[in-house]
Amino acid sequence: MDHDPFRVVGGLIIACYATGSARGFIYVSGEHRLGYERFRNAVEQLERAGLLGQGILGSSFDCRLEVRRGAGAYVCGEETALMESIKGKRGFPRLRPPYPTDAGLWGRPTVINNVETLAKVPSIIMHGARWYNALGTPESAGTKLFAVSGSVARPGVYEVPFGVPLRHLIYDLAGGLQPGRAVQAVLTGGAAGSFLCAEDLDTPLTFEDFRRVGGTIGAGTIMVFDDTVDLRHVLARIAAFFAHESCGKCYPCQMGTQRQAEILDRIARGQTSANDAGDLLELAAVMADTSICGLGQAASMTIVNAHGHWPDLFRRTTDD
């Protein structure tokens, strides 16, 4: 977005051409001012060059792109909330069906893709599907962006072909851990993700291998925690994030994310009570079962996963 906006815009124009759509939107989260400005600039340049607008390159293809900004709500990454936000409304998710491909923006059929997908389209068109499929593994074709953060020397976004080991990403690309530190846990897939442990470091980064070891590829988030990190604080931080970002539309997420955060905050402060694990698991099941959108449905995923790995984190210990 920041460094090569034309790649994304190119992918979007091709997507418009493929779907026969004369209008496209780029939605940039409110925090990302630079990306917004770069997209605006790219669209204006393409308009001036005649590559956007009426009858592009003398063809009958019309395409108009608009860049819209959100106001910083995480839930606006959810596709129905995103469309509300593009329309200038509050970013509430809505019930599906209807799905966006049937009734999306202003009731019109709408295709929604993320920036990473669109950015890949121009090179696939240029070099062909065979070239792209030759990258990665048969089941996980191509390349993937991974955002590596946490206890590593060079946190950042790295693009690798599917199939390289997790260790390569963490040690060779992100510079490894501080001297003398060891990997305690790796959170994969984002705030609603799952943990891997030190023995999983040689797992190839593919959908099939991650499924086998219980990791999540998801949006490509890799958070590394070394052996000095108290995972209870990590979980409390994640729970606080979801409580903060819940849009408040449906009861289970509106109040459940708050109660989950309160319990985990207490656990992180060493004030664990005997019911906490049971309460958290029950809350998680109900939120997953009854919340309107993916935010509430997945807000407990990491906590439930951590409980599976390390049940002792949720128990009273003698030194607490």
Partner 1 sequence: MMEAPNIPLTINGRTVRVPLGTTILEVAQGADIHIPTLCYHPQLTANGICRLCAVEVVGARNLQPACVAPVASDMVVNTETERVNAARRVILELLASTVDCSQAPEVPEYIERYGARPERYAGGVRRCFPVMDDNPFFVRDYSQCIMCWRCIQACGEDIQHTFALTWGGRGVGSHVATVLRRTDARHDLRVPRELRVRLPDGGPQGQG
Binding site for partner 1 (CB under 8 A): 73, 90, 95, 243-252, 254-259, 262, 275, 279, 282-283, 285-286, 288-292, 297
Q: Which is nearer to partner 1, 84 or 200 (CB)?
A: 84
115 vs 250 by CB, closer to partner 1: 250
When the beta carbons of 57 and 95 are compared against partner 1, the nearer one is: 95
Which 3-state string (H, E, C) describes 224-283? EEECCCCHHHHHHHHHHHHHHHCCCCCHHHHHHHHHHHHHHHHHHCCCCCCCHHHHHHHH
State how far the alpha carbon of 261 is from the alpha carbons of 17, 194, 258, in Å.
45, 18, 5
3-state secondary structure of 218: coil
The least CB distance from residue 310 to partner 1, in Å, is 24
CB-based contacts of 236, cutoff 8 Å, min separation 6: 261, 264, 265, 267, 268
User: How many Å apart are CA 211 and CA 224, to the nearest integer?
Assistant: 19
CB of 267 to partner 1, least distance (A): 14
Cross-strand pairs, 274 = none
In the complex, least distance from residue 282 CB atom to partner 1, rounded to whole angstroms: 6
Residue (248 or 270) nearer to partner 1, CB: 248
Minimum separation from the CB atom of position 98 to partner 1 (A): 11
Tell me whether residue 89 or residue 127 sits nearer to partner 1 (CB atom).
89
Q: How far apart are CA 31 and CA 71, in angstroms?
A: 7
Q: Which helix (H) or strand (E) holds 149?
A: strand 143-150
Tokens read off for 163:
């199939």
d(CA 190, CA 185): 13
Report the nearest approach of partner 1 to the CB of residue 207 (Å): 20
183 or 243: CB nearest partner 1: 243
Nearer to partner 1, 89 or 154 (CB): 89
Shortest CB 294 distance to partner 1, Å: 11
Please identify, using beta-carbon distances, which residue of 79 and 200 lies nearer to partner 1. Answer: 79
Q: Smallest distance from the beta carbon of 116 to partner 1, in angstroms?
A: 26
In angstroms, rounded to a whole number, what is the distance separating the alpha carbons of residues 285 and 7? 41
CB of 139 to partner 1, least distance (A): 23
Q: What is the C-alpha separation between 193 and 171, in angstroms, rounded?
A: 21
